[in-house]
Amino acid sequence: MRTAPAVDRRRETLDDLAHRYVWWSKDAGTGDDVIVSQVMNLGTYDDIRRLEAVMAPQELRAVMLRARAGWIDARSWAFWRGRLLAQGCADIPDAPPKRAFHADLL
């Protein structure tokens, strides 16, 4: 059974973006959240528009909420928070997650 064209287009787009934004990992198992967050953090405007063409605002919001500390910097977080709030997404924290150097001790 063949997958839907929209799913194929999404996978092709994410795979293409992964080649540009996940340069440190040659592992084919790099998760989509890492790819998407890298584009959200470092992407050109054209790549941001490509990402938005294959992912709904709620999906991008969900990636932000799952992001680990350091995945999206404060400047990019503010950009995406404003962009997604304007598109009707709600409940996005004001700031990205922060690193906790002693998290294993808590």
> What's the average pLDDT block by block, 10 residues per block, for the chain (106 residues)?
75 95 71 96 98 98 96 97 97 92 60
Tell me the whole-structure pTM to 2 decimals.
0.84
Torsion of CA 96, 84, 30, 3, to 10 degrees: 160
Closest to 20 measured CA to CA, from 64, 50, 65:
50
pLDDT of residue 11: 95
C-beta contacts of 69-75 below 8 A and 24+ residues apart: 69/96, 69/97, 69/98, 69/99, 69/100, 70/99, 71/34, 71/37, 71/38, 71/41, 71/96, 71/97, 72/37, 72/40, 72/41, 72/96, 73/41
